[in-house]
Structure 1
Amino acid sequence: MAARLSVARTARQLTSSAVRRPPSFVPATCQRWQQAPLERRLFSVSAAVKEKKYTEDHEWIELSSDGKTCTLGISDYAAKALGDVVYIELPQIDMDISAGDTIGAVESVKSASDILTPIGGKVTEVNSQLEAKPGSINADPEGEGWIAKLEVAGEPEGKLMSKDEYTAFTEDA
């Protein structure tokens, strides 16, 4: 019985005092959180929500949470319409672009299509895996099949649509 009481008492002490005091094995340099209010120590789960936006030309763009960079690719709808992709022309890194510029091309067994950018900036990274395996864009065009990452300069040009708006747009086509 004494063993059960000591376990219960220890658990009660931990739940009431561990919130304000670190365990004795925490170095003094890490104990500054002891004085901080409880609210400041909680992790934030309300990170900025990123939402893909779509163009009428069937590209998508996803801004980073800081709004300084973005990722660009073609939509699922475009990948299905193109069919099996056999070649992708990627933009050059450090290439300055303006909204509406053609930055590359996608060729498939059915047709070829230019890749247009809805936003200006500078190309900072390209998905070089697409050069070696262009058909991989068909597997996940809105994920691992991204085409380029850009350093954003200015505002997007033209109409950008949410996923629901884009779905409605493609159903009408």
Structure 2
Amino acid sequence: MNVNKKVLCLTDIENGLEPILQEATNTSAENMLTLQSYGAAISHPYGEIMRSVIIAIYQENIEEIFVVGTKDKRTSLGNGLTQLETMKDKIKTLDYLFQHCRPEFLGGTVDEWLDGNSSDTIEKSVEIIRQHPLVPSYVKVRGLIVNPKDGTASIVDVSATKTDQVYPDHCLSR
């Protein structure tokens, strides 16, 4: 265990992940910072979750970030919301917008966006953090899938090459 390494874990709202994360990241509890949100997804590079990640990097001297998804999630917010009859028309409209007008949203449908816990979502979140201009190059960013039922964890392999551009070419000057 590297006693000096500071780690930030962006996790889903799930209780009891800390011991699994400590073992998977090889980090002590006092050097682990956990940021919880529904779905553990970063949907916008300049949103509030990304802001919290950046502030944590600089204020807490974070060296490694894990975007953590949970396997066999007990409840799915997305499926629960889309079952409501009153929301079906709105969801149909939003699905159209997600597919045709707003490609920066994570997921291709409202259900996928609301769930935010797939390995694809984790990969996209890892890329948003890696490519962010305010994240230092020395910070390692990795995805992690945790199964709270059996206490196992596996790394989500996200290549270092840019697969999806988070920022259009005309927006970058570096």
Task: Please indicate, yes or no, whether the TM-score normalized by the shorter chain is above 0.5.
Answer: no
Q: Which has the higher contact order (CA 8 A, sep 6+)?
A: 2
Structure number with larger C-alpha Rg: 1
More strand by share: 1
What is the TM-score of this pair, normalised by structure 2? 0.22
